[in-house]
């Protein structure tokens, strides 16, 4: 429980020692942080408490910049406090629920609309920079990564340079999975822009399939407004391949640091699953046309 950190962060934000925490509920998700709905001094908030190793995976200064760029468009929760040293963040509370149940047609329509709204914004953020990002994530555990991982990574990089590097980029969420989308009545709001940046819009569609990749393939049709063509399915698979390689590295790093035992989460199991799925995706990608 992060109660002490929550109270300390609110003391900074409210500039007072008089902080009373009367409600706390942790949201699902988060490999580099814990996010809670809290009631402090009678007011609802959402607070993110970043893990100590969070800054290895997230640029806090970059996220703060992206939230500043997004603020005029009122498409996500308003950020009230951001500590770039710790990564702790306080936001307005949005009523609603994350999309955790079986997806309906309305869900796909709503998510596709939210992503189009984001991708059409006239803003330019920092480049997601997949290749250098992987290098940075690998650094602490490079000797523990397998030949299979490096082979898949090499394939991804070569394919990216040959096919996708020249594709136009837009401002993307970077982690548009269900737990980062709040549904309230007919409104779907993207939250938690830790991994935002300039990227291929299909990257967001790929990340929607975090629970089941079929969710991404279904969303693609709604995003395009028609049945996706084989080369478009390939493009979504291609970016999902990067994502599972990325999370393979992160999960393995957490396991090597003893987080599996400390948090009672089998990060090694997650890491192995991501690598296995990466191999499966690469095989399917090679069977599909580039255009």
Evaluate whether 132 touches 73 at the Cβ level (below 8 Å): no
**Residue range 183-209: average pLDDT?**
97
Residues β-bridged to residue 184: 187
The CATH architecture assigned to 3-92 reads 2-Layer Sandwich (3.30)
pTM above 0.85, yes or no: yes
32: pLDDT strictly greater than 80: no
Q: E strands within 63-134?
A: 79-82, 89-92, 97-98
Residue 35: pLDDT band with limits 50, 70, 90: very high
Residue 1: pLDDT band with limits 50, 70, 90: low
**Residue range 160-180: average pLDDT?**
97
**Residue range 106-116: average pLDDT?**
98
The answer to whether 3-92 and 97-286 have equal CATH topology is: no
**Residue range 123-131: average pLDDT?**
97
pLDDT at 30: 64
pLDDT tens, 271-288?
999 999 999 999 999 999
Residue 31: pLDDT band with limits 50, 70, 90: low
182: pLDDT strictly greater than 70: yes
Q: Is 158 exposed, middle or buried (0-12, 13-18, 19+ CB in 10 A)?
A: exposed
User: Which residues, 6 or more positions from 21, have their beta carbon under 8 angstroms from its beta carbon?
Assistant: 3, 6, 7, 10, 38, 39, 40
Pick 97-286's CATH classification: 1.10.3720.10, 3.90.1200.10, 3.40.50.1370, 3.50.50.60.
3.90.1200.10
pLDDT tens, 214-250?
999 999 999 999 999 999 999 999 999 999 999 999 9
Q: Identify the weakest region by mean pLDDT among 97-101, 184-188, 209-213.
A: 97-101
Evaluate whether 6 touches 36 at the Cβ level (below 8 Å): yes
Extents of the domains making up the chain: 3-92, 97-286
């Amino acid at each position: 429980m992060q109660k002490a950190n929550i109270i300390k962060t609110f003391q900074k934000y409210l500039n007072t020692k008089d902080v009373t925490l009367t409600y706390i509920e942790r949201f699902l998700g988060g490999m580099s942080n814990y996010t809670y709905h809290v009631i402090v001094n009678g007011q609802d908030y959402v607070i993110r408490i970043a893990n100590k190793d969070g800054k290895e995976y997230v640029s806090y200064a970059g996220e703060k910049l992206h939230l500043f760029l997004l603020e005029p468009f009122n498409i996500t929760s308003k950020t009230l406090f951001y500590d770039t040293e710790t990564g702790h963040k306080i936001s307005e509370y949005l009523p609603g629920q994350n999309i955790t149940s079986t997806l309906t047609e309305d869900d796909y329509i709503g998510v596709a609309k939210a992503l189009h709204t984001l991708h059409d914004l006239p803003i330019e953020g920092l480049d997601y920079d997949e290749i250098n990002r992987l290098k940075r994530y690998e650094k602490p555990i490079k000797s523990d990564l397998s030949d299979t991982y490096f082979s898949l990574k090499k394939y991804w990089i070569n394919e990216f340079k040959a096919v996708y590097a020249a594709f136009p980029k837009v401002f993307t969420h970077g982690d548009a999975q269900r737990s980062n989308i709040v549904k309230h009545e007919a409104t779907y709001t993207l939250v938690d822009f830790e991994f935002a940046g300039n990227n291929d819009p299909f990257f967001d569609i790929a990340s929607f399939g975090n629970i089941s990749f079929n969710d991404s393939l279904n969303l693609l049709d709604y995003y395009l407004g028609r049945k996706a063509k084989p080369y478009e399915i390939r493009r979504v698979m291609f970016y999902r391949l990067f994502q599972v390689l990325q999370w393979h590295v992160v999960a393995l790093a957490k396991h090597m640091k003893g987080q599996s035992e400390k948090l009672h989460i089998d990060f090694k199991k997650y890491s192995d699953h991501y690598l296995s799925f990466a191999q499966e995706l690469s095989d399917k990608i090679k069977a599909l046309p580039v255009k």
